[in-house]
Structure 1
Amino acid sequence: MAKRPGLSVYLASQKLRGRARAEARLRQGLAEGSEDSARAAERLGKPRRERPVGPLVWLHAGNEAEALGFPELIDRLIEERDDLNFLITTTGHDPEHPLEARLPKDVIMHYAPYGEGQAVEAFLTHWKPDLCLWAENRFEPELIDRVKKAGIPMILVDARVPDRSGWRWLPGIRRTLLRQFDRVLAGDETARDGLVSLGVPADRVEAIGFLQEGTAPLPCSQAERDMLAEDLAGRPVWLAAGAERAEFDLLAHVHQQIMRRSHRLLMVLAPRVPEDGPDLARRLEDEGWVVGLRSLEDEPEPETEIYIADLPDEMGLWYRLAPIAFMGGTLCGGPVRNPYEAAALGSAVLFGPATGPWRESFERLLEAGAARSVTNGATLARGVDHLLAPDQAARMAAAAWDITTNGAHATDRVVEIALDALDARGV
């Protein structure tokens, strides 16, 4: 298929700028801290390990947070074909590496090469992928064009209508790039219709939902859960999950406001740094609160107003017990937990504007009716108060169940299409 002038012009301009531009971009990224100095050479297409023997599936995303559906997808593919190898590339650098710990140990993590001819050529020559699953909503024209020329099947997953920013002077580039994909798997029907209107052949695009995010639901001791549920004896409970120090005073003020209308309400405050628990308990007690501290084996007694959950690795327990979860860090810009942890365990999600690396996850939950956004303490208080009505929290929990279940269906469909593509390639 002939390329539209927009893509041709873009690729020609990139070729003129060439290697020098890529190296300058890398130097700038290293200076700004937006690149990983230990793995900088990967941006120029230089690998840090050998290609494994056997079929190689290449999965690409914008950053590690956007790729959190990959672990489940990889697990499902391995169940079907244990001879497959996996390479994951990301455009962005995530210093906290939220994805790596969730992956099987043999999966290779690599930064995507810059869209410059020599870097892309070196990357493809070394890795020789048998299939590309592209999950980024922004496209790298040089990379996509060369993958297509190399005859590597490409499947666009979690697809939405791509952003036009930066390409307004190249009228046909989005349309041409979308046509490079052999299959386009849209996140919903609206995205499917938009992609078809951009020229994707209708028989190549289908709406399947978004990949299932995260791993299995966080574990907990069922005996501990049952005992605490009995202690709570039907009290209304809300959870501040992974709360930051900068949010402690605000959360206490919010709880005070809501307790004027719900006197038996308990706030479970789980600090992001568990070691903050004892000092926080002393401070709240000095302010007149009745406090329980998990690390001292306190129980949430009927008179307890704030229970500080300061033992590590117990979030699965608290999400199961609290029908409402505020995601800490989202009102102060600190580190934020994956909201799907809460949603998968039936907790309605409240979050502020600082979503960290989980922006798309929060947006999906919000659009599905499984989450509610707040902007400050006053709106957080109204949000918790609203969800204390059992029917409201149950409605959001049901929406969360729907989106996580749909994610499982989407993952199954991608597995089916990916295996068919590998079979058609003869690998």
Structure 2
Amino acid sequence: MSERWARAVLSSYRMAGSLAFPVIGAYVAWRSSRGKEDHARRRERYGLAGRPRPDGPLIWVHAASVGETIAVVPLVESILGYGMHVIVTTGTVTSAKVAEERLGDRIIHQYVPLDLKPAVSRFLDHWQPDLAIIAESEIWPMTILELGSRRVPQVLVNGRLSDRSFKSWRKRPYLAEALFENLAHVIAQSELDGERFAALGARPVTVSGNLKVDTGPPPADPKALEALRIQIGRRPTWAAVSTHDGEETVAAQVHSMLSARHPGLLTIIVPRHPERAEALLAEFSALGLNVARRSVGDKVTAQTDILLGDTIGEMGLYLRLTEIAFVGRSLTSDGGQNPIEPAMLETAVLAGRNVQNFRDSYQRLIENGGAKLVRDRDMLAGAVNFLMVNDAARHRMMAAGMRTVTEMRGALGKTLKALEPFIQPLIVKSRLNGTNGR
């Protein structure tokens, strides 16, 4: 009965997608008007190809947003090293920019088709991938079912399931199994993630660790970094990065609480969604704080209280300006954001207690002394103050974070080993046919 129910649900999903397809243009147009879609390439979201398919085997790698895209870059580079053709799809404008900057014309980039049967079928009819590699937690039912019906191997890499997602899938076990049985392999980030995928019916499951750790630190433009360092001089700094609604207010309040104790204090706030910058500017100004916006080229002067990092792709720049970083979506929102980038750059990591989406990374950092969780605004202010006045403690945290990252490396090698049975036959086929992608 439950199996029939799962099939009925998936059939209804397929039918609803087909019925919605003719009117979905209004939704895409709305997203485009808000800068969330690339207007010039919006046809790709309907599965319409932007360029011809190359001859020979083709591997499709999908990474939804910026974090996933950064994580799979070393994996894609390794696959390219085998001489294979690779198409990378992303779901956001910002992740497309990251793919372009880091992989360039070595890959084919397309926006991922909407998870509606006409769009997915059109995409697959054109590109005919020989292998699909999906990053992290991108479970799109129609795409998975269509790939399964065409017998295209699907491998989930860097797989993770949040507490919320796992709980949701556990309520619908037959639906989960009907989807996950289409995956040829799941390569999970942690033992807990692996256990969760196995409990939902995925087979086989292996654990690799977090691919993000093997990417290297986020880059920074040397000229921009030097210019900001000159403007800041010897002022004390701390940063609140990847913040969500409410956490910027907390950071501004912490600044006001600490500025008397630390003359010249500069607080760097980097919101997860830069489009909120105008509202944040108004809020900070109402608090009597002087703000420099990175996006409009404001310079940091002696009067600047807050440097508002309202740009995309410059996390490496902001983190190099400080030795203390609070990582957001952990005080006023649930789940947390990835602490690996700050740790890579030898930054003492602070966060709220709601970090369950990155439980393994935080657990390792905390055990080694590279991160500390705080309960609320006052505890955050106390932690920032303590690290500012205790150089030895701050440097121990910074070193512990870097040591933890070093210990966690190796996910790329384990992932490639797990992918070998899928990639090796394609390499042989490519060489026999003379369609090597190099």
User: Scaled by the length of structure 1, what TM-score is found?
Assistant: 0.69
Q: Deviations over 1:105-126 (max 9, x none)?
A: 1223323333333332221121
For 1:315-330, list aligned pairs within 5 A. Answer: 319-320=319-320, 322-326=322-326
1:65 to partner: Cα distance: 3.4
**Partner residue, 1:415:** 416
Residues 60 and 89 in structure 1, CA contact (< 8 A), matched pair in contact too: yes
Question: For 1:62, which of 61, 64, 73 is the aligned residue?
Answer: 64
Say if 1:263 and 1:65 are closer, same or farther in 2 by CA, change over 3 A.
closer
| Inter-CA distance 185–240: structure 2 relative to 1 (3 Å threshold) | closer
1:88 Cα offset (Å): 2.0
Secondary structure at 1:172 match in 2: helix
Amino acid at match of 1:349: V
1:115 alignment partner in structure 2: 115
Q: Distance in 2 between matches of 1:242 and 1:11?
A: 35
Check 1:149–1:296 CA distance in 2 against 1; reply closer, same or farther (3 A cut).
closer
Q: Is the CA contact 1:320–1:346 (under 8 Å) kept in the aligned structure 2?
A: no
Q: Contact (CA 8 Å) 1:69, 1:212: kept in 2 or not?
A: yes
Looking at structure 2, the residues matched to 385 and 93 of structure 1 have their Cα atoms a distance apart, in angstroms, of: 37
For 1:78-132, what per-residue CA distance to the aligned partner results, in whole angstroms no more than 9, with x for missing partners?
3x32x22222223x43467552343311223323333333332221121111221
Residue 186 (1) aligns with residue 188 (2): yes
Question: Residue 156 of structure 2: SS of its match in structure 1?
Answer: strand
| Matched residue count | 387
Report matched runs for 1:10-159 at 5 Å.
Answer: 10-17=9-16, 19-31=18-30, 35-78=37-80, 80-81=81-82, 83-90=83-90, 92-94=91-93, 97=96, 99-106=98-105, 107-159=107-159
The within-5 A match list for 1:207-218 is 207-212=207-212, 216-218=217-219
Paired with 2:158 and 2:242, the residues of 1 have a C-alpha distance of: 28
Secondary structure of 1:105's aligned partner = helix
CA distance 1:192–1:256, shift in 2 (3 Å): same
How do residues 195-206 of structure 1 correspond to structure 2 at under 5 angstroms?
195-201=197-203, 204-206=204-206
Give the SS at the match of 1:206.
strand
- Asked if the contact 2:72/2:135 (under 8 Å) is kept, the reply is no
Contact 2:176 2:201 (8 Å CA) reproduced: no
In the aligned structure 2, how far is the partner of 1:95 from the partner of 1:199? 33
Aligned-partner Cα distance in 2 for 1:318–1:119? 39
Shift of 1:30: 2.9
**Offset from partner CA, 1:6-31 (integer Å, 9 cap, x none):** 44223322343353222334433433
Asked if 1 retains the 8 angstrom alpha-carbon contact of 2:327 and 2:350, the reply is yes
- TM-score normalized by the length of structure 2: 0.67
User: Residues 237, 193 of structure 1: CA spacing in aligned structure 2 closer, same or farther, 3 A cutoff?
Assistant: same
Q: How many Å separate the matches in 1 of 2:141 and 2:248? A: 46
Q: Max radius of gyration: which structure?
A: 1
Report if the CA contact (8 A) 1:71-1:102 is conserved.
Answer: no
Matches of 1:137 and 1:5 in 2, distance apart? 25
- 1:314-354 Cα deviation digits (max 9, x unpaired): 97577456321246999999xxx98654332111234689x
8 Å Cα contact 1:115-1:143 kept in structure 2: yes
Q: Which structure features the higher share of helix residues? A: 2
Letter in 1 for 2:177: R
RMSD: 5.0
Instruction: Check whether the contact 1:71–1:215 (CA below 8 A) recurs between aligned residues.
Output: no
* 8 A Cα contact 1:22 1:114, kept in partner: no
* Alpha-carbon distance in structure 2 between the residues aligned to 1:164 and 1:332: 22
Maintained 8 Å contact 1:343/1:401: yes
**Aligned pair in 2 of structure 1 residues 250, 11: CA closer, same or farther (>3 Å)?**
closer
Q: What is the rounded CA distance, in whole Å, between the counterparts of 1:161 and 1:119 in structure 2?
A: 26
- Structure 1 unaligned residues grouped into runs of 5+: none
Alignment gaps of 5+ in structure 2: 291-296, 430-438
User: Structure 1 residues 166, 250: CA separation in 2 closer, same or farther (over 3 Å shift)?
Assistant: closer
